Amino acid sequence: MKRLFLLFLGTACGSVMFGQDVNRKIGTAPARTAAQDKVSTTSVNSNVVASKKTRQALESFWTAKGTKEVVGRTTYDLQTNGAIQRRVLQSGNTISCGWTHSTEAAVDETAPFNDRGSGYNYFDGTNWLAQPTSRLENLRTGFGGFAGTNAGSELYLSHDGNGYNIIQMKKTGSTWAQSTLFNTTPHTALWPHAATSGNYMYVLTTSSDSNIHSNGIRLGVFLSRSNDNGQTWIDNQIPVPLLDSSNMYRAGANSYSISASGNNVAMLFGDMGGDVTLISSTDNGNTWTKTIIWNWPIDFYNFAGTDVTKVPGSPNAVDTLWTVDGSHSVTFDKDGKIHAAFPLVRVFKDGSSTGYRFFFNAAMAYWNSDMSSVPDSILVLDQFGRDCDGDGVVGIGDNYVGTNTGDPDCAYNSIGTLTMPTITTTNTTPVKVMVAYTSLIDSDTTTTDPFSSGPGPNNWEGASAFDGQNFRDVMMIGSSDFGATWTEIVNISGTGHFEEVYPSTAENVSGSKLAILYQADNEPGTLMQNDDSPDPYWKNMMICQVVSIDSFFNTWGKDTNSACAQIQLPLSTSNIATLNGTVGVYPNPSTDVVYVDLKLNATSKQVTFQVTDLTGRVVYSEKATNVTNLKKAINVASLNSGNYILQVISDSGKYTEKITKE
């Protein structure tokens, strides 16, 4: 029997010792009590008063893997409730990135974010546009994403934050045009996930009213289908075909994803306490097929109610069960094969309340359409929970769990210790499959900052009540044989003491590079989901990291330490970019000359341009006087290939960026 293969499995209960158990099979875990496992509940006191730790925001930093660019900033830091829409397009050497954007100042979780909308940036093969200062739309919108390209245009869809219509932003050349794609009465639709192929457009939405049903499913999901690029609709907000209440109680917020290629369409659904269900078509949605690719053992389970986690026919009163967490990703490869990735987490409900306990066990699953549905037992290929600091223990901070003093500040709506997958295939032979996701990192917590100058973690931004939280990095794992074998887990973002979440990639890539967009800041968790208020200076970075696919498979993916590889940046105020102006650095990487385009807001009596290698040895230094605007050429032709640190130091401050000599 063909099987769905787990990419990795983890168990994190406070600080836990891991053994070698690579062939462990999981289905229904044995029941455990709160005394046996650290748990997190959904019932916590949301009031907390705690001292703040503050520092200014880092503007630029380097990476050992590819290049990183801060393409935008946002004070609204919740990018999805479950599965993230596609936020990256790659075409040739160009890259488009989108995200949910706000510049509202002095915000907390109750702020209205009246300027919320879609942020956007674009790389033309040489340069990025300036970071956006406002949304694309002329009205407040919610979570959005790309619908792919259509006749040379880019389409970005979101929902109207007031009237709940679906808003389309269409880019032709460099010009954006806004339109109402369709009115969503009576469902008042939210959170569109869309895909296009040829003249066909497919849009999935749910309702702003969680009591709205589709085919008997609460918080139903609706499909709109067009064969003329959204001018008219064959299906307008119809219940998703074949997705019904025979095995699903509630669809979940954002817990759906979609892809289209040629005449093929694939829609993936799955939230806590439900199956992972694929609804697919090979004739542009005229007929559909339903496939359960992972089975939750209890049909029509009300996860938000008092239903217990007891498998029918099981002798146990209650069990801890594996469930999906609502985040997943689906795509087609060039040959029409469907590929999907989704996380699993272990949960427990005894029916005493509507709340639940979730455990630190976590796994990531991969499936493709050559495989059968998932059997009860699943082969584990690898374990989450690398002992990165060599102390024999994989440590998960105590404050991952809920307490009476505040929400679990480093947990997200998709609750697992590893979560938020985005899956990509290459248009090559053989096809390469890459799954990026975010994961907690052993020993990288808010209480272990080695660059603190005094007692306590004074280089992260948060409330002291939340000391001990693990930071997350963006990880990636890949296969060039459709899941038969996998690379080592590679830490792609790899910045110590920095939170990197919500990764998104293009569905398919044709070139040698992969662009990964993610949100980053220096504090675990989100403002929107915890009680910690931000420093007024701070905004979350949207980072686009571009990596070599060959390097990922041939070098990094063969390193058994890849999951732990981090760059420990000294994030103290002495190394923060406070330069009063803008800096453009290009081309980067370069074989001969790197240009520094400096535009200061006030004339600096002296500006120093300095390049050092990773040991700190100065390999280039030059000064200029009375500088306001200057384009400086730095000759790197004589340098050895590798990474270097460029610093631009003016009277008002310093700018730091990694440059790469190829």
**3-state secondary structure string, 147-175?**
EEEECCEEEEEEEECCCCCEEEEEEECCE
Average pLDDT over residues 23-33: 28
528 or 14, which is more confident: 528
Query: Does residue 454 register a pLDDT over 80?
Result: no
Q: Is the pLDDT of residue 449 over 90?
A: no
Q: Verify cis geometry, omega within 30 degrees of 0, for the bond prior to 587.
A: yes
651 vs 490 pLDDT, higher one: 490
At 554 the pLDDT is 95
> What confidence tens digit (pLDDT) does each residue in 381-393 have?
444 567 777 777 7
C-alpha distances in angstroms, 629 versus 80, 173, 583, 594, 600?
A: 40, 29, 10, 17, 6
DSSP string for 534-573: PPTT--EEEEEEEEEHHHHHHTGGG-TTTTT--B----SG
What pLDDT, on the 0 to 100 scale, is given for residue 47?
A: 28
Q: What pLDDT sits at residue 232?
A: 94
Confidence of residue 105 (pLDDT cuts 50, 70, 90): confident
What is the DSSP track for 195-219?
EEETTEEEEEEEESSTT-EETTEES
What pLDDT does 446 receive? 74
- Asked whether the predicted pLDDT for residue 244 surpasses 80, the reply is yes
Cα torsion 184, 190, 195, 196 to 10°: value is: 30
- Taking the C-alpha atoms of residue 356 and residue 307, their distance in angstroms, rounded to an integer, is 10
Give how far the C-alpha of residue 463 lies from the chain's centroid of Cα atoms, to the nearest Å.
24
Domain extents in the chain:
49-80+104-120+413-568, 577-661
What pLDDT is recorded for position 463?
53
Per-residue pLDDT averaged across 238-246, rounded? 95
Structure confidence at residue 60 (pLDDT): 52
Mean pLDDT of 572-588: 61
Extract the tokens encoding 399. 């404050």
According to the model, what pLDDT value does residue 536 have? 46
Return mean pLDDT, the chain. 80
pLDDT band (50, 70, 90) for residue 113: very high
Binned at pLDDT 50, 70 and 90, residue 46 comes out as very low
The model's confidence at residue 397, banded by pLDDT at 50, 70 and 90, is: low
Whether the pLDDT of residue 398 is over 60: the answer is: no
Task: Give the least confident one: 68-72, 441-445, 486-490, 636-640.
Answer: 441-445
- Flag whether pLDDT at 631 surpasses 80: yes
Architecture of domain 577-661: Sandwich (2.60)
The answer to whether residue 456 scores a pLDDT higher than 70 is no
State phi, psi for 523 to the nearest 5 degrees: -145, 130
452, pLDDT greater than 50: no
User: Hey, is 398 helix, strand or coil?
Assistant: helix
Which has more pLDDT, 87 or 363?
Answer: 87
| Section 115-128 average pLDDT | 95
Q: What is the rounded average pLDDT of the residues 555-567? A: 87
Q: What is the pLDDT of residue 277?
A: 94
Segment 210-225 shows an average pLDDT of: 93
Among 266-270, 324-328, 453-457, name the most confident range: 266-270
Average pLDDT over residues 592-596: 91
Q: Is the pLDDT of residue 264 over 90?
A: yes
Written as one string, the DSSP assignment of 216-227 is TEES-EEEEEES
Give the whole-angstrom CA distance, residue 86 versus residue 195: 9
Instruction: Check pLDDT > 70 for residue 421.
Output: yes
Mean pLDDT of 573-588: 63
pLDDT in tens, 129-162: 999 999 999 999 999 999 987 777 899 999 998 7
pLDDT at 110 over 90: no
Give the pLDDT confidence score for residue 281 in this predicted structure.
Answer: 98
Residue 37 has pLDDT above 50, yes or no: no
Instruction: Assign residue 48 a region (left: φ > 0; alpha: ψ between -120 and 50; beta: otherwise).
Output: beta
pLDDT reported for residue 445: 78
- Residue 556's alpha-carbon distances to 257, 562, 564, in angstroms, are 29, 6, 11
